[in-house]
A and B are shown apart, each in its own frame.
Chain A
Amino acid sequence: ETGVTQTPRHLVMGMTNKKSLKCEQHLGHNAMYWYKQSAKKPLELMFVYNFKEQTENNSVPSRFSPECPNSSHLFLHLHTLQPEDSALYLCASSPLQGTNYGYTFGSGTRLTVV
């Protein structure tokens, strides 16, 4: 069982739907991340939260809206997505800012936009 839990594991949504991805960690980490993994592309960093504050938005379209209510939970709210947004969305956490210990990843949410 990974220390980072993502739900749902799979999601199919229409372009007009609104859905949310959830990420939860109880590792005591203070930094959390959203990554997008598309077929044939490198992992793309989307958002970074450090102590609940967003510190990075990597030019992500506004149809993706993150939320970090506390250091243990991270959400990615989705609305009016496009088919090209279909991908594996990975959440990760790390202990402290600037320590470069490496990430603990969740198993991801496989998103299909139809």
Chain B
Amino acid sequence: AQKVTQAQTEISVVEKEDVTLDCVYETRDTTYYLFWYKQPPSGELVFLIRRNSFDEQNEISGRYSWNFQKSTSSFNFTITASQVVDSAVYFCALSEEETSYDKVIFGPGTSLSVIP
């Protein structure tokens, strides 16, 4: 069965600090997809990144970076030089190839507060 764990429930950092959000997943599939979503106070989940299981290259997008390590089943997300606008709940998610539709399982989320 697939499962996503985000052990950090809440994190507080001071503005301009770097912060890493952890994500550990479980799956029996060899082909799967990992995602990160951001949920600001307004409510909607915003798609940040999608990574398939065959692509282990780390990715950087501005202040955001993602570290995918199949050996430890982790897909961690780092925000560099955090800003107040980064305050949100962040969800890691997993989708297995064998489903006939996009069935995504979400982790419990990490609530990030960036203090000015």
**Chain A positions near chain B (C-beta within 8 angstroms):** 2, 4, 31, 41-43, 45, 48, 50, 55-56, 88, 90, 92, 94, 97-108, 110
Q: Are A45 and B50 in contact (CB under 8 A)?
A: no
B-chain residues with CB within 8 Å of residue A102 when the two chains form the complex: 33, 35, 47, 50, 102, 104
Q: Are A106 and B44 in contact (CB under 8 A)?
A: yes
From A42, A45, A48, A92, residue with most partner B Cβ within 10 Å: A42
> B77 in the interface, Cβ–Cβ < 8 Å?
no
- Closest A residue, CB atoms, query B44: A107
Distance of A100 Cα from B42 Cα, bound (Å): 25
Q: Are A108 and B101 in contact (CB under 8 A)?
A: no
Q: Are A104 and B47 in contact (CB under 8 A)?
A: yes
B-chain residues with CB within 8 Å of residue A94 when the two chains form the complex: 102
A76 to chain B, nearest CB (A): 16
B-chain residues with CB within 8 Å of residue A92 when the two chains form the complex: 45
A-chain residues with CB within 8 Å of residue B106 when the two chains form the complex: 42-43
B51 to chain A, nearest CB (A): 10
- Report how many A-B pairs have Cβ atoms within 8 Å: 69
> B86 in the interface, Cβ–Cβ < 8 Å?
no
A13 to chain B, nearest CB (A): 19
Which 5 A-B pairs rank lowest in CB-CB distance, beginning with the nearest? A97-B101, A105-B45, A107-B44, A100-B33, A43-B106
18 A-B pairs with CB atoms under 8 Å apart are: A43-B91, A50-B100, A88-B43, A94-B102, A97-B102, A98-B102, A99-B102, A100-B33, A100-B50, A100-B52, A100-B95, A100-B97, A102-B33, A103-B45, A104-B47, A105-B45, A105-B47, A107-B44
- Closest A residue, CB atoms, query B99: A98
- Closest B residue, CB atoms, query A58: B103
- Other than the given A31-B102, A100-B97, A103-B104, 18 more pairs (CB < 8 A) read A42-B106, A43-B91, A45-B105, A50-B100, A50-B101, A55-B100, A56-B101, A56-B103, A97-B102, A98-B99, A98-B100, A100-B50, A102-B47, A102-B102, A103-B37, A105-B37, A106-B44, A107-B43
